[in-house]
Structures are given as structure tokens and as C-alpha cells.
């Protein structure tokens, strides 16, 4: 996972922080466009809704098929919610890092 320096063309790893070109020492910052911010907010909302829905549905499945009580249903749903949130947020972070974030040169005053 790397991108090319805009000055010299050498490859820079996206994982290293801060993002500095090894050849010409140009600094890069991460920047999101307006549409990317909108998409990320919508996706974050959908992740929470999907995690809640999935945990309730799977918890209901366990409750009906394995004769769990009400307290066990709540516990199973909460545990599943946390598990789904971790998985969905991990997948979202991969998506965001690859598609929504652009790398731009950092100017001298920090504003580009």
C-alpha cells in the first residue's frame, strides 16, 4: 500500500507516519474531500444500524433455538453487537484508508 511522491515519483508507504518522501523529504498530509466526508458519515451510521440489527436477529435466533432466558438474550445481543461493531469498523477502516483519503503536500504554513 503505497503512493507516488508528486515531486520525485518515488514510492511512499501509506502505513508510515508521518508521510515523508525518503528522497526529496516532501511531507504529505491526509485529506478528505467533502463527498468522502458525507460517505463516511453515512457509512458510520449504517454500520451502527447494521450491527444493532444483526445482534438482535442473531440473539433472537439463539433465544428461540436454544431456549435462552431474557437476561441471556440481552447479554448475547450486547456481546454480538460489540463483535459486529469491531468487524464492521475494521472493514470500514480498510475501505476508508484505500478509497476516501487523499494525500496532499503539506505547505509551509500547514494549510494547503
Please state the domain extents for the chain: 2-105
Return the percent helix, strand and coil in the chain, to nearest 5: 55, 15, 25
Pick the range with the lowest mean pLDDT from 44-48, 66-70, 87-91, 108-112.
108-112
3 state SS of 19: strand
Find where cell 484508508 sits: 97
> How many helices (H) does the chain have, and how many strands (E)?
2, 5
pTM over 0.85: no
Is it the case that residue 109 has pLDDT exceeding 70?
no
Q: If 0-12 CB within 10 Å is exposed, 13-18 middle and 19+ buried, where does residue 44 land? A: middle
Amino acid at each position: 500500500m503505497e503512493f507516488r511522491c508528486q515531486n520525485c515519483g518515488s514510492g511512499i508507504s501509506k502505513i508510515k507516519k508521518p508521510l515523508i518522501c525518503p528522497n526529496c523529504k516532501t511531507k504529505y498530509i491526509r485529506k478528505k474531500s467533502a463527498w468522502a466526508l458525507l460517505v463516511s458519515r453515512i457509512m458510520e451510521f449504517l454500520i451502527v444500524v447494521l450491527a444493532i440489527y444483526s445482534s438482535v436477529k442473531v440473539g433472537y435466533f439463539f433465544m428461540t433455538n436454544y431456549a435462552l432466558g431474557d437476561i441471556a438474550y440481552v447479554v448475547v445481543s450486547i456481546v454480538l453487537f460489540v463483535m459486529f461493531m469491531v468487524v464492521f469498523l475494521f472493514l470500514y477502516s480498510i475501505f476508508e484508508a484505500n478509497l476516501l483519503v487523499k494525500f496532499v503536500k503539506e505547505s509551509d504554513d500547514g494549510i494547503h
